[in-house]
Structure 1
Amino acid sequence: MARRYVLSKRERRRLLEELEQRYGSIGVGKNDVVEIFEERNKFKILIINNVPAFIFYEDKWIPHLKYLLRNPNIKAPIVVVDMGAVKPLLRGADLMAPGIREIIGVFGRGDVIVVVEEKYRKPFVTGIALVDSNDIVSGKIKKGKVVKNIHRIGDSFWNML
């Protein structure tokens, strides 16, 4: 059973402080409506002014792509991929090391990652790092999965709200 509710002032303040500590300024004003949409025992989505903003996944708040596209100032490590990696990622595949063109920022195993394509630099996947960025940059890891695909354009989270 799904439910959607507005956060209390205390819950809102605590959650927004946690998100801003992790992602920098997320652009939420005093008069903005902050809600939670949750499917019991499955997932939670933070909604800001009727736009899905963050997905709660494995004890982490992961930026929703609709919010990232509207607010590009959210700070998270970025992995730039070649155009050959785009289609498999949009079908739900995990990111493999050979598809990476560039890494912006530093991340460790378990950190939230935003994946962008190399031509327009638009985010189209958010995921969880399976390895450290230093291992990829140094060439220690040249093949295999490096980012677990959690949310992509066109998936169930994208189409939900």
Structure 2
Amino acid sequence: MAKISPKKRHTIRKSKQSKIFAALREEIGESAEAYTGKSIEMVETTGETTVFLVDRHPVIMEMGEIVFPTLRGAVERPFPEKNITVDAGAIAFMAKGADVMRPGIVKISPDVKKDHPVLIIEERYGKPLAVGIALYDAEEMELCETGKVIKTIHHVGDDLWNMEI
């Protein structure tokens, strides 16, 4: 991800809120209800990412057509859908933004779809490490033995994580 910083910040209309939450519901189902709040603001950035603040917390991001919780959102408001669990050996690599390789995965949520976002969590404490795009459906990923299976788009310590709003 290129260096990003906030450009504009403004409250969004109800119609835009409806579209964002419909897209989020499409990705994570009924867990999207946890991401509603009294005030919703949109923060345009210098990068490709738009961040949505729910009650002043950066919990939703939009990258192109993808609407998904940010890592901060996943930490504050956990959800069980679209999760990939990695072993302890993968944590150091994930913290540097590495893509996920099949040998490091210990559990795959059955609702993972190719070209859709997934939350990557660590095995021991269940904490979110990154958000990525699945390169395979869950069934295909289970059959893989080697190679890259998830392209990381947001990780702990990246510009989006560190962005001051």
TM (normalized to structure 2)?
Answer: 0.86
Q: Report Cα offsets for 1:1-48 as digits up to 9, x if no partner.
A: 81011001222233223323432243245x611011012563211111
Contact 1:106 1:134 in 2 (8 A): no
- Residue 3 of structure 1 is matched in structure 2 by 8
Higher relative contact order (CA 8 A, sep 6+): 2
User: In the alignment, is residue 83 of structure 1 matched against residue 88 of structure 2?
Assistant: yes
1:35-114 maps to which residues of 2 (within 5 A)?
35-39=41-45, 42-73=48-79, 75-114=80-119
Asked if 1:116 corresponds to 2:128, the answer is no
Q: Quick one: distance in 2 between partners of 1:69 and 1:115?
A: 12
On the 8 A contact 2:49/2:64 being kept in 1, the answer is no
Is the 8 Å Cα contact of residues 82 and 111 (structure 2) preserved in structure 1?
A: yes
Name stretches of at least 5 consecutive residues in structure 1 with no aligned partner: none
4+ aligned runs moved over 4 Å, structure 1? none
Distance in 2, matches of 1:96 and 1:114, equals 14
Q: Is the 8 A contact 2:27 2:67 kept in 1?
A: no
Distance in structure 2 (CA, Å) of the matches to 1:41 and 1:146: 25
Count of matched residue pairs: 157
For 1:98, the aligned partner's letter is P
CA distance in 2, matches of 1:19, 1:120: 25
RMSD: 1.8
Q: Which residue identity does 1:71 align to in structure 2? A: R
User: Which ranges in structure 2 are unaligned for 5 or more consecutive residues?
Assistant: 1-5
Match of 2:3 in 1: none
Q: 1:107 to 1:115 in 2, by over 3 A?
A: same
Do the aligned partners of 2:82 and 2:118 also contact (CA within 8 Å) in 1? yes
The equivalent residue for 2:21 is 16
